[in-house]
A = this chain, B = another copy of it.
């Protein structure tokens, strides 16, 4: 089985993870499945009406500076979004409905760059359509399909599966029963995958 990469488009630490996971995992021979989900419903079950980085400003200040340092270290462009968190619902539906399509990882990276490097509104359908088009896909048609009742239900079910797996934040790397939380645990997750027999995954 593959290692699962669970991400939420509004999640700050998912940004560097999304940008670096594919090349890093490929170099180590670890297959990845991209699993978009929504943190909003999970946060609401914890009693939070907003990102904890907004609810706890002292933690938010730390996170923004920390993310800035991490991106500088990785040579990833970063601009603090003027709106946080941004609404990644449509982008998540697209990435979820078309799971496994070869263009999904690059689409996901485009959306993350829009949010955290270009300060663009990722809920904007024409923007997402332009990303799909630039990947050689029929953007308008794909967006229509991603807004079907079946697609909406698929993302809902995926978020429910996240809860069932014990996922409470993003990014989360899942290797069999093991969870690894945070961009800075990507290496540990890959190492775990490689050091444990496939049958256990």
Contacts and interface: CB of A to CB of B under 8 A. Distances in A.
Contacts of A58: 166, 168
Q: Is the interface of A mostly helix, strand, loop or mixed?
A: helix
A179 interface: yes
Interface string A49-81: 000000010110110011001000100000000
Given A181-B66, A184-B184, A184-B185, A166 B56 contact: no
Nearest to A56: B46
A56 B168 contact: yes
Interface in A113-140: none
Integer count of this chain's copies in the complex: 2
Contacts of A166: 58, 61-62
Interface in A70-98: 73
Interface in A153-201: 166, 168-169, 178-182, 184-185, 188, 192
A59 B56 CA distance: 17
Contacts of A180: 66
B62 A179 contact: yes
A86 to B, nearest CB: 24
Interface of A: 46, 56, 58-59, 61-62, 65-66, 69, 73, 166, 168-169, 178-182, 184-185, 188, 192
Given A62-B168, A66-B180, A69-B178, 10 more contacts: A46-B56, A56-B168, A59-B168, A59-B169, A62-B179, A65-B178, A66-B179, A69-B188, A69-B192, A73-B188
